[in-house]
Amino acid sequence: MARGGINKAVVQEARQALLARGANPSIDAVRVELGNTGSKTTISRYLKELEPSSPEPVASRIRMGNMLNGMVQTLLDQLMEEGQEVISQATAAFNVQRAALENQLIELRSELATAQSNSATQQAAIETQSAELVTTQSSLQAELTRNAGLNNRCTNLESLVAEKDKHIQSLEEKHVQARGALEHYREAAKEQRDQDQRKHESQLHGMQVELRKLRETIAVKQDDLTRLNRDNERLLGEARQQTKTLHTQEALAQSLNTQIQALRQGEARSAGVTEHLTEQISVLREEVKALHQTAAIAELREQETAVLLAAVQKENEQLRQARIDERGLEEGGDVASGVEDKQIAGHAKPSKQPRR
């Protein structure tokens, strides 16, 4: 900061300040101390004037040295105090930092223990997963083996199904053959029934003719009575045979029912064939039912014939009684009556309708 001017007092103060700091009070130093103001000539003149005014320059320098030593000692003490304070603060900070580091070390050790525990747990989990992986691999191998077995079983089942299909086809062929045989049997049975019916009608016609000629041909009809008895026995045998055949057909129908039930349980795909067989069995049952009805009708006709036979016997008895009265021969009448009874029984008894 520039000053308006300098004087001796100002130069003296600057010189003393420099001396107090231990510096040489030269012209340039004083001018710098004065803030770079004033001319060097003026400063030099004032310095020259001030030097003679100093009566004891050496003592002044000694005092100056002592002052400097005191100042240095004071500064040293202050520095020592400040240094000690800094050291104390640094020590306290170090202790705080050390305690913090120890706490952090404890926390790190705790975290390390936790990490080690977690690592052990994870290791155990890894071992468990490894064991589970081994078990899973074993299960997978077992499943693969089981799948292979299942594939083999599927192949065997497919072969069995193919065999079942062949068996069903064979059964269908047998069914067709059985149906043909049944149709043949039905035709044969129908023809037999027609023949029996014609025969029965012929026998009835013959019986009627014989009844009209009974009064004149008693002796001749004895042979006819014997023949008719043989025919009756034959017809009875045929009826029994037809009954056996009917039972055989019923057993065949029962066997077909059993086979159909087995096919239903064994193969679901044979439902159509089973239904067809069931329909055929129903037809057979209807036919059997019709045969039963025919047999019932035959029995009814037999009963009617028995009634007719009773009437004929009654008429024969009347004729015999008339003959006995006319001839007056009791024994001959009895013999003739017995012969007539046998002959009329042979002629009157109808052929039994065969049951199928």
pLDDT band at 274 (very low <50, low <70, confident <90, very high): low
Residue 348 CB burial class (10 angstroms; 0-12, 13-18, ≥19) = buried
Q: Is the Cβ–Cβ distance between 304 and 183 less than 8 Å?
A: no
At 334, which amino acid appears? D
Per-residue pLDDT, 49? 85
**CA-CA distance, 145 to 148, in Å (whole number)?**
5
| Domains of the chain by residue range | 8-89, 175-348
Across 21-30, 77-86, 255-264, the highest mean pLDDT is recorded for 21-30
- Considering 57-66, 166-175, 231-240, the range whose residues carry the highest mean pLDDT is 166-175
* Rounded mean pLDDT, 180-201: 83
Higher pLDDT, 13 or 264: 13
Decide: 172 and 273 in contact? Cβ < 8 Å. yes
Radius of gyration of the chain (CA): 77
Q: How confident is the model at residue 356 (pLDDT cuts 50, 70, 90)?
A: very low
Q: Which of 26-40, 151-165, 203-217, 340-354 has the lowest mean pLDDT?
A: 340-354
* 34 has a pLDDT exceeding 80: yes
- Residues whose CB falls within 8 Å of the CB of residue 82, separated by 6 or more in sequence, listed in order: none
What's the half-sphere exposure (Cβ side, CA atoms, 13 Å) at 119?
A: 6
> CA of 282: how far to CAs of 55, 250, 356, in Å?
168, 12, 16
Residues 6+ away with beta carbon under 8 Å from 6: 34, 37, 38, 42, 43, 46
Q: Burial level of 170, CB count in 10 A (0-12/13-18/19+)?
A: exposed
pLDDT at 338: 57
pLDDT band for 345, please (50, 70, 90 cuts).
low
**Residue 180's pLDDT band (cuts 50, 70, 90):** confident
Buried b (16+ CB within 10 A) or exposed e, 147-161: eeeeeeeeeeeeeee
The whole-number average pLDDT for the span 26-41 is: 87
pLDDT of residue 106: 92
Give the tokens for residue 184. Answer: 């043949």
pLDDT digits (tens, 9 = 90+) for 196-206: 888 878 888 87
pLDDT tens digits for range 126-179: 888 888 888 888 888 888 888 888 888 888 888 888 888 888 888 888 888 878
Residue 309, classed as helix, strand or coil, is helix
Note the pLDDT of residue 52.
57
Confidence bin at 354 (pLDDT 50/70/90): very low
Exposure letters 300-338 (e unless 16+ CB within 10 A, then b)? ebbeebeebbeebbeebeebbeebbeeeeeeeebeebbe
Q: What is the pLDDT of residue 304?
A: 83
In the chain, where does DSSP find H-type helix?
Answer: 8-20, 27-33, 40-50, 57-212, 220-266, 271-327, 330-348
Let me know: does 174 contact 336? Beta carbons within 8 Å: no
Whether residue 213 contacts residue 354, with contact meaning beta carbons closer than 8 Å, is answered with no
Least confident of 31-35, 216-220, 259-263, 352-356: 352-356
Q: What is the pLDDT of residues 300-326, one digit of tens each?
A: 887 888 888 888 888 888 888 887 877
* CA gap 193, 200 in Å, rounded: 10
Mean pLDDT, the chain, whole residue set: 78
pLDDT confidence tier of residue 271, bands split at 50, 70 and 90: low
Range with the poorest average pLDDT among 27-36, 60-69, 282-291: 60-69
Check residue 260 and give its pLDDT. 67
Q: Mean per-residue pLDDT for 56-64?
A: 56
Residue 250 has pLDDT above 60, yes or no: yes
Predicted TM-score (pTM) of the model is: 0.23
Chain segment 66-116, per-residue pLDDT in tens: 677 767 777 877 787 787 888 888 888 888 988 999 998 999 999 898 988
- Report, as an integer, the average pLDDT of 232-258: 79
Residue 352 near residue 239 (C-beta atoms within 8 A): yes
User: Around 211, how many Cα atoms within 13 Å sit in the side-chain half-sphere?
Assistant: 20
Contacts of 179 (CB under 8 A, 6+ apart): 280
